[in-house]
Structure 1
Amino acid sequence: MIPFDISFLAQSTITPDQYSLLCLFVGMVTVLGLIIVMRANAFLALITAAMVVSLMAGGAIQDKFARVASAFGGTAGGVGIVIALAAIIGKCMLDSGAADRVVRAFMSIFGEKRSPIALMGSGFVLAVPVFFDTVFYLLVPLGRSMFRKTQKNYLLYVMAIATGGCITHTLVPPTPGPLVVADQLNVDKGLMILIGVMIAFPAACAGLWFSSLMNRVMPLPMRPLGNEPEPEAIPDDKLPSLWISLAPVLLPVLLISTNTVLTTMADAERAAQLRPGDIADWNAFRSRIQQDQDADDETNFGKHLLATINGNDSDEERARIAELLLQDGDLNGEEQNELREGLNRFVLLDKSFPKNRDAFLGTKLSATAMSLAASNPARMAPVTAERMNREVLESAYDADVVKPYTWETAKRKASNVTSMLGDPNFALLISALIAMWTLAVQRSLSLKELASSVEVSLMSGGLIILITAAGGAFGAMLTVANVGDAIQNMFPIGSDAASAKLLVLLLGFGIASVLKIAQGSSTVAMITSSGMLVSLASPEVLGYHPVYLAASIGAGSLFGSWMNDSGFWIFAKMSGLTEVEALKTWTPLLMVLGATSFVCAVLMAIVMPLV
């Protein structure tokens, strides 16, 4: 009889890290076995793997499966609305002719001679809200039409379409893969869009160059696709205007990016940090800590503060700050500045300083401090930690000792407004309404017909939501099993060497690549990889912003596409290529895109770490 709780294995001769890696191995075997061998749907494979890993991980037996459902709901709540709205936007843009208008605009800008650039640019833009297979279905007829005009470069045309569609599909939200990765690694969606586009552009250029090279090496003819006639082009007067067509794509990018910029500016103020004069009475401030240090109780506020400063390992700078707090006599101006900076660095930035309770070691916390302390430390931004700990200090001391700070600065008030308007759920809702209105007007649809069209799009988006939420639950259970810590202990990530910290990017790229090769889905590869590495995704550990880890995972999910990838078959069948021709063109193209994206992510992490 198989026991319901097999976490007792963790107590055997194997180490905790080895047991965590065993959980990871079993989880991956479950996912890959169900998808590859049993041909199970990705949702069933991921949710089964999540339950298996949860069963192996520690915790109360009654919570084993309940926490899987909780993690599933958390992921669905974070990305479900966005994915559903993106599905509506994509279908409405296709049915209304808005997507066709965008493509023709690119064609008119670049001209016939530069039509590969136009096709690549069209795929690049349209794959942001529209899934890759839909983008390819839309653009392949234009590539075939271009070949009928020029009688050359057919392979270049279809590879250019694939280049643009694939690269933003794996790097730029709200496409499900990068959206979930950003959510799991706690990366701002606007920043993910900005950095994703910056990395995707040079990768797309490299892909276009490679497409041109392959077109010269093996110039393939255009072949008929079954017995179906080539679709006729829609007249220009039946298409919506360019700006209306672009609005569903550009509006959310504009709103989300504006919020990111203003929030970054507000965060850069570091309003909660201790500034000169904020500690009005240094003697009174230190007196409480010294009294607590001499008290008989094992744990109190002062002892906990000193323990936070001293950290887990010996450090001369930390020891100096503790010495200044405990020494007798007045502090001179230089010592006050030294102590203030030490408190900012070692206390205010510590994400675990307060406990999640209304009374913290004898100190009644403010409502703000209680709310912030309830957050997940792994997902807490440094500026939030500073605010939480400043609230704790102000709760522990009178205003004549620690002066109150002002959080709602002018920049913060502006960012609060854009946080509402730039929320991805709201931004895509507005875009979806515009896309629906365009479809209704352009095709003269009744409300019932419009509702029917939206319902069709939601059915396709529902499956994506289920898969991404199941993947999020799987990643959460890997976190419960301490897989991230085990992986971190295998590599010198915690060292000060930049080369060692950059190994995490290689790790994310490599894991996503292996998963992509093994089971074929870029989305599953991204979700699983980010779930494994979530515990490493903080600027303090990495030395650079985790957005670059997210981009590296996205780059890895492109690497190694072959016959188990649905994209492979879409490219081959819709282009009229044989399997061997697709292996010679599609597979190396995605390797070029993935490798270039990864190199760009590494270079940007070095040159522009964003920490």
Structure 2
Amino acid sequence: MVSGQIALIMLLMAVGLIVILTGKYKVNAFLVLIGVAIAYGVAIGLPPLEVIKLVKEGFGGTLTNIGIVIVAGTIMGLTLEKTGAALSMTRSILKIVGKERSSLAMNAAGVVVSIPVFCDSGFVIMNPLNQALAKESSTSMVVMAVALATGLYATHTMVPPTPGPLAASGALNADIGMVILFGTMAAIPAALAAWFFATKIGNRFPAPVPASESYQTLIDRYGKLPSPWLSFLPIIGPIILIVGKSVADLPSKPFGDGALTSVAQFIGDPVVALIIGMFLSFTLLQSKKEWTEALSTWTSEGIKDAALILVITGAGGSLGKILSVSPLKDYVSTVLADPKLGLGLFLPFMISAALKTAQGSSTVAIITTSTIMAPLMATLGLHPALTVVVIGAGAMVVSHANDSYFWVVSQFSNLEVGTAYRVFSTATFVEGTVAFLVAWLLSFFV
């Protein structure tokens, strides 16, 4: 087998190959990651049959931990999208915050909606309401677009059950309840910082509000929306259950050693909690037609959406398994554990940000970075949950032309590309940096 130094050089070459193939040539990330895993294993001197064995173990082991959770979470998010629950939640937040602060309301709504719903889908769903509020409140479309987009982005990259942070939690053996807690603590100030930046900078750039319906016309067109309480329940319910399990698992045994602890550990297991959340989302269905669509068409669509994330996550697990047995682990940990470097949480943040900026996909950046970091966690002494959060923070830095979300935000909001670069891309830098700083501060207390 090659030396640790050569293994590191080969890893840097592998990462460069991942960036080029997924970013420039748009090759599917599954093909790239699984190919790189096999090629890297052979290149460092592992026997070919051992490489294949490790690839299969890494793929299967990763999906064992999070496969069902991703599928259930995706179906739940799709149901919230199709039933109008996302709009119902947004309206309730708008009532609390007020139309006069519509940009802040949409930023807050984005933070909530993107916990189960993909950020690009969330933006498309909420954009008509965003445009209607921009017109009604005479707020700059640039401000409104960036406020909503960055609110969605914060939880999309840092709070499970969104697939990226969920996959990273599995790769790093992080407690999902702690990831939800720390991710939320980082996401809220990060989203607010991006909103504040948008309000100060966005007004400098003209962007006409696209021709759109009025707020009331939009609400009338949707008809009867689900109850806000029922709309929030599929999100809040699983989070409470998962956090409850984390509390039950504390060494102090706050729930004792009896049945209460056993129940909390069972229903708070992410698999059980997300399945419960999925079925809670079905309570939003208001007609026999919706029930039929939900149990067949919507569920099938959700499984198809989850499939891509699952195979990419599994391929990332394969690469991680190869890295875990390579000489890289001992060599890199010896070099990077030097206290004089003081990298700490900055290392995963930096790797994730570099991958995000280079190839565009936040999910690929999160999965690849967590794969690289997994073998190094124990030696570097990093907190698993906080590492997931800083990887998610890095995966926001920065969104630009190679990111599909950049085009969703700019095109649906009628923003010029230059304006989107100056305001939205810069806002994602602010957002990711603030999220990292919050996680770094939290590291002094956990």
| TM-score interval, smaller chain | over 0.9
Where do 5+ consecutive residues of structure 1 fail to align?
1-6, 11-15, 271-408
Cα offset for 1:442?
4.5
Match 1:435 to one of 281, 285, 290: 281
Q: Does 1:460 align with 2:305?
A: yes
Q: Does 1:514 align with 2:354?
A: yes
Q: Which residue of 1 aligns with 2:410?
A: 572
Q: Which amino acid counterpart does residue 252 of structure 1 have in structure 2?
A: P
Conserved 8 A contact 2:352-2:369: yes
Q: Which residue of 2 aligns with 1:27?
A: 14
Match 1:450 to one of 259, 280, 295: 295
Q: Which amino acid counterpart does residue 39 of structure 2 have in structure 1?
A: V
Conserved 8 A contact 2:174-2:385: yes
1:208-255 CA distances to partner (integer Å, 9 max, x unpaired)?
A: 110101223224222359xxxx99435676111111111110010010
Q: Which amino acid counterpart does residue 322 of structure 2 have in structure 1?
A: M
- Aligned to 1:467, what secondary structure does the other structure show? helix
Give the superposed CA RMSD.
2.3
Q: Which amino acid counterpart does residue 79 of structure 1 have in structure 2?
A: I
Cα offset for 1:59?
3.7
Counterpart CA distance in 1 for 2:336 and 2:95 is: 51
Q: Which amino acid counterpart does residue 265 of structure 2 have in structure 1?
A: S
Larger C-alpha radius of gyration, 1 or 2? 1
Q: Which residue of 2 aligns with 1:137?
A: 124
Counterpart CA distance in 2 for 1:481 and 1:23 is: 11
Q: Which residue of 2 aligns with 1:362?
A: none
Comparing both structures, which one devotes a greater share of its residues to helix? 2
Match 1:255 to one of 202, 218, 241: 241
- Aligned to 1:587, what secondary structure does the other structure show? helix
Q: Which residue of 2 aligns with 1:38?
A: 25
Superposition pairs for residues 293-442 of structure 1, below 5 Å? 410-411=256-257, 414-439=260-285, 441-442=286-287
Counterpart CA distance in 2 for 1:472 and 1:211 is: 37
Match 1:125 to one of 112, 128, 140: 112
Q: Which residue of 1 aligns with 2:366?
A: 526
Cα offset for 1:555?
1.1
What's the % identity of the aligned pairs? 32
- Label 1:522 to 1:483 Cα distance change in 2 as closer, same or farther (>3 A): farther
1:318-337 CA distances to partner (integer Å, 9 max, x unpaired)?
A: xxxxxxxxxxxxxxxxxxxx
Conserved 8 A contact 1:262-1:411: no
- Aligned to 2:323, what secondary structure does the other structure show? helix
Cα offset for 1:561?
1.9
* Regions of 4+ moved over 6 Å: none
Counterpart CA distance in 1 for 2:168 and 2:439 is: 15
Cα offset for 1:416?
3.0
Counterpart CA distance in 2 for 1:568 and 1:87 is: 22
- Label 1:269 to 1:509 Cα distance change in 2 as closer, same or farther (>3 A): same
Conserved 8 A contact 2:115-2:155: yes
Q: Which residue of 2 aligns with 1:74?
A: 61
Q: Does 1:477 align with 2:315?
A: no
Q: Which amino acid counterpart does residue 445 of structure 1 have in structure 2?
A: E
Counterpart CA distance in 1 for 2:125 and 2:155 is: 16
Conserved 8 A contact 1:120-1:208: yes
Counterpart CA distance in 2 for 1:117 and 1:245 is: 20
- Label 1:467 to 1:22 Cα distance change in 2 as closer, same or farther (>3 A): same
Conserved 8 A contact 2:393-2:436: yes
1:564-601 CA distances to partner (integer Å, 9 max, x unpaired)?
A: 11111111111111221111111101000111011111
1:262-320 CA distances to partner (integer Å, 9 max, x unpaired)?
A: 212xx2469xxxxxxxxxxxxxxxxxxxxxxxxxxxxxxxxxxxxxxxxxxxxxxxxxx
What's the TM-score, normalizing by structure 1? Answer: 0.69
